């Protein structure tokens, strides 16, 4: 990339997004997309952005886990305006379609343009939150956009528990206003969100010897619609881990099966679209077991025909090269947990219409030699409800016994809606000036890092904006590039409103 006195010039060799406007944004979006940046693998992208900022003479702070703080002075006439914090996160969710091999540790995203939409190629796109980072870089690179003093905060590990925001040193910030760029609706202003907490449900493993002569099979649930565990939870989509538990309970009752492995889910903030179990059973029950599973699979497919039309349940023979299985009590306990852990919408707001107040997503399951672990993520706009759901999970561990335990982590507070917010008022004024109509104001069930910034910076005033994106955290993720120009206009108009 080369820089002239007045504009940024991006290399266009093999560019997929050349010709899209605003060119400066799409140049940075494509540049960032070429860099591997899954959670915990953000050093390369952090160094890239830090070098970009230093080349422009900007003040850069980079901490030991690769969070970035970049400061830029206000433009003429805005030098003494209140400082504005701009926020985005550098990490993305890394997931690929079945049969697609993509080395996320070393390869960037291969972009694909299809009509109005930008996609990955068999993978997640990472618009969440490459969009926010590209907007921030576009502003940092500009010399003709009026703005107040800027403190650009780009965090890491957002998709795995908001670790970057948890770690970030808030004392380095002087601003009391924050504009986040991790929203997905260009026709609304995002003005409040839930907090969340995650919980590991663990059962110590006891192993038994696999009986001689047994057959083995993989029971697999796949093809689900999946989606973001907070943005999409109200859509009542199927959960592959919960369905697998349902099928395993049937199999245990009908076929006296043993379990050797459990695996499912990709990320704490993704409704699991795939899960599987490796099971063992006596040949004498094979036919009856298959028939029972096929009948139950048909019933499940009918139940979820609207939300998950591509749901697939398979029961396939496996070479069976294993010699140990879970003990009967552990297998029963694990299956009970898969079936009984709270999952989906738990309560709805009585204050904001059509808003989910609290939920839980049973997001991940795995086992090693020592234990079975099931991870849930619990967002709620009311802290007491969030902790009550955690307590119910603890109660389940007590009922199951077997040494089961619950460990919580990544506790993030909510960001309550404030109708008197100066940032919200400025956003409304900017939107009406640019588009001649009032924006929708949204309060969401999603849990962003903004609750943590509210905790770190007392009296902070926040707002979030962004272009249209769909199915984030899935391989169907897509960015409507035709809405980016409107967001860019809104961003510049909002900055001009913040002189005072």
- The per-residue pLDDT for 98 is 86
Question: Measuring CA to CA, how many Å separate 474 from each of 263, 276, 389, 493?
Answer: 18, 19, 26, 32
Per-residue exposure over 139-161, b if at least 16 CB sit within 10 Å of its own CB, e if not: bbbbeeebbbbbbbbbbbbbbbb
What's the whole-number mean pLDDT along residues 443-469?
Answer: 93
The SS3 call for residue 304 is coil
Residue 444, pLDDT > 90, answer no
Confidence of residue 447 (pLDDT cuts 50, 70, 90): confident
Confidence of residue 13 (pLDDT cuts 50, 70, 90): low
What's the pTM value of the predicted model, to 2 decimals?
A: 0.81
What's the whole-number mean pLDDT along residues 252-275?
Answer: 93
Q: Is 349 exposed, middle or buried (0-12, 13-18, 19+ CB in 10 A)?
A: middle
Mention every residue, 6+ apart, whose C-beta is less than 8 A from residue 280: 210, 211, 214, 215, 216, 257, 258, 259, 260, 320, 322, 325
**186 or 1: which carries more pLDDT confidence?**
186
The SS3 call for residue 478 is strand
* φ, ψ at 409 (rounded to 5°): -160, 165
Percent residues over pLDDT 70 in the chain: 97
203-216 residue pLDDT tens: 999 999 998 889 99
Confidence of residue 231 (pLDDT cuts 50, 70, 90): confident
Confidence of residue 8 (pLDDT cuts 50, 70, 90): low
Let me know: does 137 contact 50? Beta carbons within 8 Å. no
346-378 residue pLDDT tens: 999 887 788 899 999 999 999 999 999 999 999
Domains plus CATH for the chain?
2-194+415-497 (3.40.630.10), 197-412 (3.30.70.360)
16-58 residue pLDDT tens: 999 999 999 999 999 999 999 999 999 999 999 999 999 999 9
Alpha carbon 141 to its chain centroid, in Å, reads 28
- In which region does residue 379 sit, left (phi positive, over 0), alpha (psi from -120 to 50) or beta (all else)? beta
Which tokens go with 117?
């939409």
- The per-residue pLDDT for 395 is 98
- Report the Cα–Cα distance between both ends of the chain, in Å, rounded: 35
Angle in degrees, CA 96, 97, 99, rounded to 5: 110
What's the whole-number mean pLDDT along residues 105-113?
Answer: 97
Task: Give residue for tokens 């540790």.
Answer: 105
Per-residue exposure over 36-46, b if at least 16 CB sit within 10 Å of its own CB, e if not: bbbbebbeebb
404-417 residue pLDDT tens: 999 999 899 999 99
54-107 residue pLDDT tens: 999 999 999 999 999 999 999 999 999 999 999 999 999 999 998 999 999 999
* 3-state helix/strand/coil string of 395-464: HHHHHHCCCCEEEEEEEECCECCCCCCHHHHHHHHHHHHHHCCCCEEEEECCCCCHHHHHHHCCCCEEEE
384-397 residue pLDDT tens: 999 999 999 999 99
The partner residues of 261 in beta bridges, in order of sequence, read 278
Residue 436, pLDDT > 70, answer yes
What's the whole-number mean pLDDT along residues 104-130?
Answer: 97
- The per-residue pLDDT for 3 is 37
> How far apart are the C-alpha atoms of 472 and 446, rounded to whole Å?
12
Q: Is 94 exposed, middle or buried (0-12, 13-18, 19+ CB in 10 A)?
A: buried
């Amino acid at each position: 990339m080369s820089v002239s006195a007045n504009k940024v010039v991006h290399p266009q060799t093999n560019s997929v997004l050349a010709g899209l406007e605003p060119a400066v944004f799409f140049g940075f979006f494509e540049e960032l997309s070429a860099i591997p940046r899954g959670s915990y693998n953000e050093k390369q992208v952090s160094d890239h952005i830090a070098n970009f900022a230093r080349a422009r003479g900007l003040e850069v702070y980079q901490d030991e886990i690769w969070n970035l703080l970049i400061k830029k002075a206000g433009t003429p006439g805005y030098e003494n305006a209140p400082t504005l914090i701009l926020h985005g996160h550098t990490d993305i969710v890394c997931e690929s379609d079945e049969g697609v091999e993509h080395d996320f540790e070393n390869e960037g995203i291969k972009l694909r343009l299809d009509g109005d939409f930008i996609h990955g190629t068999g993978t997640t796109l990472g618009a969440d939150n490459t969009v926010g980072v590209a907007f921030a870089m576009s502003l940092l690179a500009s010399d003709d956009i009026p703005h107040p003093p800027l403190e650009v905060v780009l965090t890491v590990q957002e998709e795995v528990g908001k670790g970057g925001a948890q770690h970030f040193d808030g004392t380095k910030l002087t601003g009391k206003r924050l504009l986040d760029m991790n929203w997905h609706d260009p026709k609304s202003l995002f003005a409040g969100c839930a907090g969340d907490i995650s919980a590991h449900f663990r059962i110590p493993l006891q192993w038994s010897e696999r009986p001689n002569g047994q057959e083995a099979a993989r029971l697999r649930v796949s093809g689900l619609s999946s989606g973001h565990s907070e943005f999409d939870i109200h859509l009542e989509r199927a959960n592959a881990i919960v369905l697998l538990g349902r099928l395993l309970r049937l199999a245990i009752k009908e076929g006296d099966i043993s379990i050797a492995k459990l695996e499912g889910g990709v990320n704490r903030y993704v409704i699991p679209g795939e899960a599987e179990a490796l099971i063992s059973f006596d040949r004498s029950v094979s036919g009856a077991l298959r028939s029972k599973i096929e009948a139950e699979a048909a019933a499940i497919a009918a139940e979820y025909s609207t939300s998950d039309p591509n749901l697939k349940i398979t029961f396939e023979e496996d070479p069976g090269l294993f010699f140990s299985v879970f003990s009967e009590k552990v297998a029963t306990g694990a299956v009970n947990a898969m079936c009984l852990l709270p999952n989906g919408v738990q309560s709805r707001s009585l204050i904001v219409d059509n808003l989910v107040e609290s939920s839980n997503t049973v997001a991940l399951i795995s086992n090693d030699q020592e234990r079975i672990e099931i991870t849930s993520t619990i967002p709620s706009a009311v802290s007491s409800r969030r902790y009550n759901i955690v307590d119910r999970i603890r109660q389940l561990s007590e009922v199951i016994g077997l040494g089961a335990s619950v460990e919580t982590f990544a506790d993030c507070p909510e960001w309550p809606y404030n109708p008197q917010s100066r940032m919200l008022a400025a956003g409304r004024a900017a939107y009406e000036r640019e588009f001649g109509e009032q924006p929708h104001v949204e309060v969401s069930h999603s849990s962003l890092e903004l609750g943590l910034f509210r905790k770190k910076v007392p009296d902070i005033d926040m707002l979030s904006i962004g272009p249209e994106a769909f199915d984030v955290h899935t391989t169907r993720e897509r960015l409507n590039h035709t809405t980016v120009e409107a967001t860019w206009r809104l961003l510049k108009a909002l900055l001009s409103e913040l002189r005072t």
